[in-house]
């Protein structure tokens, strides 16, 4: 039952968006579209196909996929019971689990590996602050069914290429941190050593670390508490527990990155927030966004598909926060193109309206972006609106011109330019003049 008395408001106070969930309004939304177009073009060139999964998934998917002792599952998920049937559901906090579920459900890996990408909203109940929202957006790639290390390197190289196409400079704006988490048995040995290290310093640990030292000790290394840094730094390193195969995989990734000239720092304490990772993990970080410096993060997850009930198959991918990317672009002074309006149509009299609107359809079909002045108003106020619209031209559909099957074209951007006539019968012949504005 909806609690109507908590919802109805006789005073009709204006409603507001949920805290930490933003409207993306024009002209800001144009920046999003510009960014997404860059991403789609990149994906197409690397052969990654778009996948769209539901925003709501069974809660069990994330608990089983991400691991019970993770920030997301412990405290960040928007979970609820479907009142119609009692199902336990969650607004997706990340993209990988849903992609894996979909691929398994539709037996998509039957005929070999798949390269996929998604763009969409994610939800986490975090404390809203700069670069940290409750509804945020990610681009992500997932390459499923490939053992690597070539594909690990490929997904990292895609990021580097995207930075270049966005005008970002590797080294100055972003840098790559890389680590290997090895395989579960290697992590098991390291885990024992780590627990005994933490036990030796238990009096220095905070509550969260004490709670996690047996359930997920690796995550203790990922603590943001400065008081724990000394203990963390002295901890045994997973890299020292890797066997020959894991090392060969890591070196395979590094060999490609080295050959391609991608600079990286090996960060033995990079562990990532989800339990599903093994072998390669990486983050692209920036110094330009304060505390929320990770813009893109990912790695390999060879056991996840099996863990979610699918036929065993490896996977590797990353997720990128779009809000943080756009903030970084702004911070680095990238000028993002604003959408151009080619023309603004001025209509002095309602009489010619049908003829005008038919002409505008022809112009739009010929690729011209044109907005018509809505309703009737004085020429003066229509020209004011035309100027304010940012259009390069005003199209003046005076009665005399219309009677001749013509329109007056007036350039708005160069003061001295005079208006000239163009024929409405042959719009295609001159549409390019407007388009190239």
> Which residues of the chain form contacts with ligand ATP (CB under 6 A)?
94, 124, 126, 131-133, 136, 138, 273, 292, 294-297, 319, 321, 323-324
From the number of C-beta atoms within 10 Å of its C-beta (0-12, 13-18, 19+), residue 313 rates as buried
- Min dist CB 327 to ligand ATP, Å, is 10
CB-nearer residue toward ligand ATP: 141 or 347: 141
Nearer to ligand ATP, 138 or 382 (CB): 138
| Closer residue to ligand ATP in complex, CB, 241/284 | 284
CB of residue 304 vs ligand ATP: minimum separation in angstroms? 14
To the nearest 10°, report the CA torsion of 96, 101, 106, 108: 40
Which is nearer to ligand ATP, 176 or 434 (by Cβ)?
176
d(CA 319, CA 137): 10
Comparison of 279 and 392: residue with beta carbon closer to ligand ATP: 279
Distance of CA 397 to the CA centre of its chain: 44
CB of 232 to ligand ATP, least distance (A): 16
What is the closest distance, in whole angstroms, from the C-beta atom of residue 67 to ligand ATP in the complex? 12
**Is the sign of the CA dihedral 208, 209, 214, 220 positive or negative?**
positive
Q: Residue 294: beta bridge partners?
A: 285
Closest CB to ligand ATP: residue number: 321
The distance of closest approach from Cβ of residue 142 to ligand ATP in the complex, given in angstroms and rounded to an integer, is 13
Closest separation between CB of residue 132 and ligand ATP, Å? 4
Q: Which is nearer to ligand ATP, 294 or 382 (CB)?
A: 294
Q: Between 268 and 390, name the residue whose CB sits nearer to ligand ATP.
A: 268
Taking the least distance from each CB to ligand ATP, the nearer of 131 and 310 is: 131
- Shortest distance, CB of residue 105 to ligand ATP, whole angstroms? 23
Q: How far is the CB of 93 from ligand ATP (least distance, A)?
A: 8
């Amino acid at each position: 039952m909806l609690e109507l008395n908590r919802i109805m408001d006789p005073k009709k106070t204006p409603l507001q968006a949920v805290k930490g969930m933003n409207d993306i309004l024009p002209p800001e939304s144009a920046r999003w579209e510009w960014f997404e177009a860059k991403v789609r073009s990149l994906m197409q060139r690397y052969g990654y196909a778009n996948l769209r999964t539901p925003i709501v998934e069974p809660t069990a998917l994330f608990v089983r996929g991400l691991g019970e002792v993770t920030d997301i599952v412990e405290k960040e998920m928007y979970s609820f019971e479907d009142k119609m049937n009692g199902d336990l559901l969650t607004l997706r906090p990340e993209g990988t689990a849903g992609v894996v579920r979909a691929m398994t459900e539709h037996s998509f890996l039957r005929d070999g590996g798949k390269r996929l990408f998604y763009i969409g909203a994610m939800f986490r109940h975090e404390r809203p602050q700069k670069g940290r929202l409750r509804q945020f957006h990610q681009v992500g790639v997932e390459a499923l069914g490939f053992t690597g290390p070539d594909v690990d390197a490929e997904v990292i190289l895609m990021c580097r290429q995207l930075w270049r196409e966005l005008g970002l400079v590797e080294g100055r704006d972003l840098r790559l941190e890389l680590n290997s988490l090895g395989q579960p048995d290697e992590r098991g040995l390291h885990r024992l050593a780590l627990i005994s290290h933490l036990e030796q310093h238990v009096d220095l640990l905070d509550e969260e670390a004490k709670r996690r030292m047996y359930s997920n000790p690796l995550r203790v290394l990922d603590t943001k508490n400065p008081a724990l840094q000394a203990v963390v730094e002295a901890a045994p390193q997973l890299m020292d527990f890797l066997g020959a195969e894991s090392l060969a995989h890591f070196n395979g990734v590094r060999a490609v990155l080295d050959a391609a000239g991608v600079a990286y720092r090996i960060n033995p304490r990079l562990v990532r927030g989800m339990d599903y990772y093994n072998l390669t993990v990486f983050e692209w970080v920036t110094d330009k966004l304060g505390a929320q410096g990770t813009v893109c993060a990912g790695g390999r997850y060879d056991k996840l598909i099996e863990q979610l009930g699918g036929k065993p198959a490896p996977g590797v991918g990353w997720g990128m926060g779009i809000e943080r990317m756009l903030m970084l672009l702004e911070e680095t002074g990238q000028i993002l193109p604003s959408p151009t309006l080619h023309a603004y149509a001025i209509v002095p009299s309602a009489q010619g309206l049908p003829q005008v609107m038919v002409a505008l359809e022809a112009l739009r079909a010929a690729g011209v972006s044109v907005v018509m002045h809505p309703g009737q108003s004085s020429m003066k106020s229509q020209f004011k609106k035309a100027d304010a619209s940012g259009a390069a031209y005003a199209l003046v559909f005076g009665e005399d011109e219309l009677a001749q099957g013509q329109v007056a074209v007036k350039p708005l951007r160069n003061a001295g330019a005079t208006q000239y006539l163009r024929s409405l019968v042959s719009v295609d012949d001159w549409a390019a003049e407007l388009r190239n504005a």
